[in-house]
Amino acid sequence: MPVVNRAGRHVLTGALCAGLLLTACSAPRTATGPAKEPASASPVQGAPRPAPPAQIPGLGPATRSSIPATSTQALVVKGDGPHSHQSTAVLFERDPAAGWKAVSQPWPAHNALRGWTAHHRAGDLRSPIGVFALGDAGGRLPDPGTRLPYDQSEEFNMPGTGFLGEPLEGSFDHVVAIDYNRLPGTSPLNKVRPLGAAKGGGVWIHVDHGGPTRACVSLQRDDMRQLLLALDPAKHPVIVMGDAGTLGR
């Protein structure tokens, strides 16, 4: 029989309630344990990495390192061999993410009669090997619409015949000066030679006359016009020129 206190409450009932409260406060954890924080996402193993920026085909590390970081336009002229006067030219442009991409078809070209040299001298009948800026243009005919500074003058006149007996008339109808031993920012006709006269000069890209040159690079007339329209001073264009073997180093 239960014992009743003065308040008329059952002592046993009170004890039972207190026990239940204690049990609730110290309830055991579930078998699965406390809730866990969501795991952070981890990289997918084996996911493909982005492709590196494309390089200009056929250029070795030494040649690539000679192209200024600011240049995003390059005319690459590859000679068939160190002693050949035949070559191929392709215009490339560089996208910051994708890298270099050809923006022209391969253009047949001529270079100097005796091929190429890394140590050009006046009268050696070889084209200089290297990477040179392209910043000034001109010619006997009017500007076809190039963005380069253009000097039209009757002084761009080339009479006579070439090494194969071909007529030279019209070869300088359009030219682009190659910044080898010249003063940039002036007409291609400027005869200042910063390295001295013995190192040669007046090395241009000009209209092809069907045979080898003395030191210049020549392109067929339509290709020369395309080049003039494409070159953009804002892209700091350069020419990368030499025989294929040397450029591949």
pLDDT value at position 90? Answer: 98
- Mean of pLDDT over the chain: 87
User: Per residue in 216-225, pLDDT tens?
Assistant: 999 999 999 9
**What is the distance between the alpha carbons of residues 149 and 2, in angstroms, rounded to a whole number?**
115
Is pTM beyond 0.85? Reply is no
User: Per residue in 100-118, pLDDT tens?
Assistant: 999 999 999 999 999 999 9
> Percent of the chain scored above 70 by pLDDT?
81
Each of the 249 residues of the chain gets a pLDDT tens digit; together they read 443 343 434 333 343 333 433 333 344 444 444 445 455 455 556 777 878 999 999 999 999 999 999 999 999 999 999 999 999 999 999 999 999 999 999 999 999 999 999 999 999 999 999 999 999 999 999 999 999 999 999 999 999 999 999 999 999 999 999 999 999 999 999 999 999 999 999 999 999 999 999 999 999 999 999 999 999 999 999 999 999 999 999
Which segments within the chain are labelled E, that is strand? 73-79, 86-95, 99-102, 107-110, 116-117, 127-128, 130-139, 150-152, 175-178, 204-207, 217-219, 238-243
